[in-house]
Amino acid sequence: MVLMRVILIACCCGCPWLRGAETLSYRDLFNGRDLTGWVDVNTSPKTWTVHDGLLVCSGQPIGVMRSARQYENFLLHIEWRHMEAGGNSGIFIWSEGTVPAGKNLPKGLEVQMLELDWVNQHKKPDGSLPPIAYVHGELFGANGLKLIPDNPRGSRSKSIENRCLGKGEWNIYDVVCVDGTVKLAVNGKFVNGVRQSTVKKGYLCLESEGAEIHFRKISILELPPGVAGTQQTAPLIR
């Protein structure tokens, strides 16, 4: 917690950080005009488009597009809204940026983005509902990435408070990623986290998973490198 507070204070104050006179600052990963900086992995030219300054994902086919480069320690700001009730999507952190044979999604640490009505659409046979905290901000390792959840729901970590807004409304995720630890704030409050991720450096991947979702701002503030060794770094894609 002390490390996280120091990072956030330094960033908010614009303090130089281990880079001589250079000051840390956010830079856009989406320019509002085109898909510069992103590479399709296994979707289609119609899956990801830009309209009126928004990045629009059709949700079809299921798959991802990845960042052009890898990231290790950083703060990520991303704003999103689902356009369909029960819509599903997410962003992968420290991902390999490729999809294993027989899979639609990559190895990585997923930050879940589910629309609120997903809960009502997935009642169990006995009429009970899945946990509301599953709807937004669940954190988990996909396709072999391991981690320790702060708020366990099996191997996943669930949000301790439901702060996600519904269909057509904008949500803000701020994600702190440092040396295998991830903390997630939803609409202005930290509600979830994981630690000891087995991968600590890799690609970012935006997920297409069956429903239309919009993004209007994606920005990153890179922090100094940390302890990620070869075994904890996703393979570079040449």
pLDDT for position 89? 95
Domains of the chain by residue range: 27-225
Per-residue pLDDT of the chain (238 residues; tens, 9 = 90+): 444 444 554 454 444 444 454 689 999 999 999 999 999 999 999 999 999 999 999 999 999 999 999 999 999 999 999 999 888 999 999 999 999 999 999 999 999 998 767 666 767 788 776 666 666 789 999 999 999 999 999 999 999 988 888 899 999 999 999 999 999 999 999 999 999 999 999 999 999 999 999 999 999 999 999 999 999 999 999 8
> Contacts from 229-235 at CB under 8 Å and sequence distance 24+?
232/180, 232/198, 232/199, 232/200, 232/201, 233/70, 233/72, 233/199, 233/200, 233/201, 233/202, 234/70, 234/94, 234/95, 234/96, 234/97, 234/107, 234/108, 234/199, 234/201, 234/202, 234/203, 235/96
CATH class assigned to 27-225: mainly beta
pLDDT for position 223? 97
Q: What is the pTM of this model?
A: 0.88
pLDDT for position 139? 97
Closest C-alpha to 32, from 173, 207, 216, 219: 216
